[in-house]
Amino acid sequence: MSAPSPDDELVFLPLGGSGEIGMNLNAYGYGPPDERKWIIVDIGVTFGREEATPGIEIILPDPSYLEDERDNILAIVLTHAHEDHIGALGWLWPRLKAPVYATPFTAALVREKLRETGLLDKVPLTEIPLKGQLTLGPFEIDFVTLTHSIPEPNGLAIRTPLGLIWHTGDWKIDPDPLIGETTDEAKVRAMAEEGVLAMVCDSTNVFVEGTAGSEADVRKKLTEVILGCTGKVAVTAFASNVARVETALHAARAAGRTPCLVGRSMHRIYAAAKSVGLLQDAPEVIDEEDASDLPDEKILFLCTGSQGEPRAALSRIARGEHRNVTLRQGDTVIFSSRVIPGNEAAIHALYEEFVRRGVSLITADDHHIHVSGHPARDELKQMYQWARPRIAIPVHGEMRHIREHVKLAQSLQVPETIAPNNGDMIRLAPGLAALIDEVPAGRLYVDGNVIIETDDEAIRDRKRLAAEGAINIALAVSAKNAVVAGPNVTVRGLTMPDDEDLELALEELEGAAHGAFAKLSHGERDDDDAIEGALVRAVRKSAERLWRKRPLVDVTVLRL
């Protein structure tokens, strides 16, 4: 590796995931300030909740700073295939247009994603083998095998002329991950010998004492629990946790049950896993349509929907709306999953639906049938002892996680710590780490097929429409500025206890519109904006009195 030039700087820029859970987007820049070359590490989404962001399912990090730097982006490197690390690729790649690098399982899922959005032929996607290497301008990157809750979780050892960055991605220390190798401790220790300038590290579970626990323990317990069930059994888990999926399949075999995958992403990930040689030893799965041929005690459904997503398989089963799967008294649903913060109400409602049907519930509160994929405090301490970084940069967490992680690193005598916010440009070298710039950062909404700002007027209007409703007024005005038809008033989202009351309300609104027009001067009647303003004010006032609400009022003046 060449020696650094005197003007060279090494910078870190998080644009997502620092100050929030999900939606990770990190960038590293190297070179003189006006000639930086960039690599992007991960490009994820977060999900809108139907209630909080109606009409918005996918939320993206705002990449506008990097968009302007597009010609200097050497690569998008993906650590692993979770949606909060790869999900934005299909949406944002056209703005960034950099080559993409990922290990085989991640690449398989990325390819499928790109196929869906018609980008497969456009995006240069290179597969890197596990423990592979990659040189991108001033960056030399080693993929380091870790353990997490998905196959092929990689940390990145990023060497630059100004020092080595250890970017952990998402990880835990699972002594028996079931799929894939254990954490490459030797590699991390070797990095420490070489000297780690900065460790950019997962903060998700910094408030959790102890260790995350092993997938192997879950396999033991889940098998035991399933053996104890009578009737039909449905297990729900994240499809991307292929070790867990394999556990359910093995447990089914042990219990003499035939496994059946239910839900699109189960099939998707199952196929991706098979394509890279995983799940070879697992029993064959049957189609949903054939499941009803089996006696209740011979079937195990493996379902998507552990977070109470209303359209996922499990919610449809709970509502009795699933075409091929019905559960009732005597059957059991096993949640081999956790409750992601924000989903409590939806999951609660799902529980209730099952309880009302007499279906038994087993959750991770009852038995040790779930472990997290993120490091608890003892694992974090272990990693700091292995890597011995000069600078600790916690990412992948809300601000309270990141600040707590900073405290932890300080307690471990890491010399420098930084709690980054999205958009903070941090110089890692030369000199002490420092915030040198703040660039635009935030969220974008995918709204139908359009990407919009979160404060777009359309979103503000939709929130207002949801709470307050809408009133539309149309009137036709002659060349002599006389009203020749209307004002005609219609409402949406506003009602009255009975039709007669509603009729009277509409009459009152029309009267208000009429009255407002009548009060306009001749000059004002020439001006559509003046007409509109006067009618909106008058009708809104009537509406507030009638409903104690503030609807959006729109006026259309048709000129003859």
Q: Among 192, 364, 412, 452, which residue sits at the site for a second copy (rule: CB under 8 A)?
A: 452
The residue (of 81 and 475) whose beta carbon lies closer to a second copy is 475
Report the C-alpha gap between 6 and 95 in whole angstroms: 32
Q: Does 108 interact with a second copy (rule: CB under 8 A)?
A: no
Q: How far is the CB of 481 from a second copy (least distance, A)?
A: 14
- In degrees and rounded to multiples of 5, residue 124 shows phi and psi of -75, 110
**Among residues 434, 482, 485, 518, the one that binds a second copy under rule CB under 8 A:** 485
Least Å distance between CB 300 and a second copy?
A: 23
Count of residues touching a second copy (by CB under 8 A) = 64
| Rounded Cα distance, 58 and 323, in Å | 27
H or E segment to which residue 450 belongs: strand 450-453
Does 466 participate in binding a second copy (rule CB under 8 A)?
yes
Q: Which is nearer to a second copy, 431 or 497 (CB)?
A: 497
Among 157, 222, 475, 539, binds a second copy (CB under 8 A): 475
- Cβ proximity to a second copy: between 377 and 462 the closer is 462
Contact track, a second copy, 382-421, x by CB under 8 A: ----------------xxx--x------------------
Residues 6+ apart with CB under 8 A from 526: 481
Q: Report how far residue 404's alpha carbon sits from residue 476's, in angstroms, rounded to the nearest whole number.
A: 64
CA 455, chain centre distance (Å): 19
Yes or no: say if 137 and 113 are a contact pair by the CB < 8 Å rule.
Answer: no
User: Least separation, in Å, of the C-beta of 233 and a second copy?
Assistant: 19
The residue among 294 and 496 lying less far from a second copy, judged by its C-beta, is 496
The DSSP letter of residue 172 is B
What is the CB-side half-sphere exposure of residue 208 using CA atoms within 13 A?
Answer: 17
Helical residues (DSSP H) of 310-417, grouped into ranges: 313-318, 344-356, 377-387, 399-411
Q: 227, 432, 482, 558: which one contacts a second copy (CB under 8 A)?
A: 558
Give 3-state DSSP helix, strand, coil % of the chain, rounded to 5.
35, 25, 40
Q: Which of 456, 437, 438, 432 is nearest to 446 (CA)?
A: 456
**x/- map, 526-555, a second copy, by CB under 8 A:** ---------------------xxx--x-x-
- Find the part of the chain contacting a second copy (CB under 8 A) among 195-203, 224-232, 354-362, 513-521: 354-362
Question: Which member of 121, 209, 295, 356 binds a second copy (CB under 8 A)?
Answer: 356
- Minimal distance, residue 559 CB to a second copy, in Å: 6
Number of CB atoms found within 10 A of residue 71's CB: 9
Distance CA 415, CA 437 (A): 22
Confirm or reject binding of residue 89 to a second copy (CB under 8 A). no
Helix (H, G, I), strand (E, B) or coil at 252: helix
Member of 51, 71, 209, 287 binding a second copy (CB under 8 A): 51
CA–CA separation, 61 and 5 (whole Å):
33
Q: How far is the CB of 182 from a second copy (least distance, A)?
A: 32
Maximum CA extent, the chain: 88
Token couple for 199: 């460790």
Q: Does 434 bind a second copy (CB under 8 A)?
A: no
The stretch among 33-41, 43-51, 189-197, 327-335 that binds a second copy (CB under 8 A) is: 43-51
Residues 486-505 that bind a second copy (CB under 8 A): 486, 488, 490, 492-497
CA-nearest of 249, 256, 238, 218 to 82 is 238
Q: For residue 541, give the DSSP letter.
A: H
Nearer to a second copy, 65 or 547 (CB): 547
The token pair that represents 25 in the structure block: 């987007």
User: Judged by CB under 8 A, which of 1, 227, 345, 435 binds a second copy?
Assistant: 345
Among 352, 437, 507, 526, binds a second copy (CB under 8 A): 352
Question: Which residue number, 65 or 351, has a Cβ lying nearer to a second copy?
Answer: 351
Beta-carbon neighbour count of residue 240 at 10 Å? 24
- Using alpha carbons, select from 299, 264, 314 the residue that is nearest to residue 116: 264
Distance, in Å, from the CA atom of 140 to the CA atom of 396, rounded to the nearest integer, reads 23
Q: Which is nearer to a second copy, 252 or 557 (CB)?
A: 557
Q: Which residues contact a second copy by CB under 8 A?
A: 19, 49-52, 54-55, 341-342, 344-345, 348, 351-352, 355-356, 361, 398-400, 403, 447-452, 456-459, 461-463, 465-470, 472, 474-476, 484-486, 488, 490, 492-497, 547-549, 552, 554, 556, 558-560
